[in-house]
């Protein structure tokens, strides 16, 4: 046997040995085998944060107007349980409009115009004042210039009767004067604005078909 053939046989033997060694170390793969998928990276607080859903948090519509955990806040929450569509912010906007309308109509003596928005006691009280003005022959002129402050002062809720009461604090700017039968100013100043503070309480039966709140009490 020639030396060249011997060398080829030796090289072939070495090649077979290497193939067997590699097979033992790497194992065998049939066809196209996907490599093992990498393990997912551990979830960090940063990755979780983007998907975290906070449930049962405070109702901003309530705590924007009443201290969280206060009796007023609890009363407002109870109102919402009975009437889920109730919004404190919307109520306060309505109270703003009602304050100007009722105050202006009262000063003009237009009681029938605002009767649906007053309780019977308040209507009777306002009507007595209007009647007293007429008997004295005086007239009131009021120019409503706007509200400097409007805040929720208190809220209560009678769960048994579903009766809600909300008190609102108003600080208004007015130009108001009272004139006698001769047109002379006897009270106020028709050229100067003044600050007027009121606390009005509105009431309504939650869940009722009538959406209107009635003025049931006034104070300062």
pLDDT tens track for 33-64: 333 344 344 444 333 333 333 346 789 999 99
pLDDT digits (tens, 9 = 90+) for 203-217: 999 999 999 999 999
Helices (H), 27-168: 45-49, 60-63, 71-82, 88-108, 111-114, 120-136
CATH 3.10.450.240 fits 60-219, yes or no: yes
HSE-up of residue 150 (Cα within 13 Å, Cβ side): 18
Q: What are 93-143's pLDDT values in tens digits?
A: 999 999 999 999 999 999 999 999 999 999 999 999 999 999 999 999 999
- 6 or 51: whose pLDDT is higher? 6
Q: Which two tokens stand for residue 150?
A: 């409007």
Please indicate, yes or no, whether the overall pTM of this predicted structure exceeds 0.75: no
For residue 38, what pLDDT is reported? 41
Q: Which of helix, strand or coil describes residue 143?
A: strand
DSSP 66: S
Specify whether the CB–CB gap between 105 and 203 falls below 8 A. no
Band the pLDDT of 14: cuts 50, 70, 90: very low
């Amino acid at each position: 046997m020639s030396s060249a053939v011997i060398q080829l046989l030796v090289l072939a033997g070495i090649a077979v040995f290497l193939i067997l060694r590699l097979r033992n170390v790497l194992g065998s793969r049939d066809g196209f085998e996907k490599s093992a998928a990498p393990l997912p990276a551990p979830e960090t607080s940063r990755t979780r944060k983007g998907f975290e859903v906070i449930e049962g948090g405070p109702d901003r519509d309530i705590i924007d107007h009443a201290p969280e955990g206060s009796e007023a806040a609890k009363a407002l929450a109870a109102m919402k349980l009975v009437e889920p569509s109730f919004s404190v912010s919307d109520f306060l906007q309505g109270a703003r409009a009602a304050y100007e309308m009722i105050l202006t109509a009262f000063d003009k003596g237009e009681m029938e115009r605002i009767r649906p928005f007053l309780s019977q006691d308040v209507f009777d009280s306002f009507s007595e004042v209007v009647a007293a003005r007429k008997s004295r022959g005086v007239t009131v002129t009021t120019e409503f210039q706007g509200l400097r402050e409007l805040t929720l002062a208190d809220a209560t809720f009678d769960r048994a009767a579903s009766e809600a009461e909300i008190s609102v604090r108003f600080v208004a700017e007015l130009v108001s004067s009272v004139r006698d039968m001769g047109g002379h100013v006897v009270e106020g100043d028709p050229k100067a604005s003044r600050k007027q503070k009121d606390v009005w309480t509105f009431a309504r039966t939650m869940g009722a078909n009538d959406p209107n709140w009635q003025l049931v009490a006034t104070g300062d």
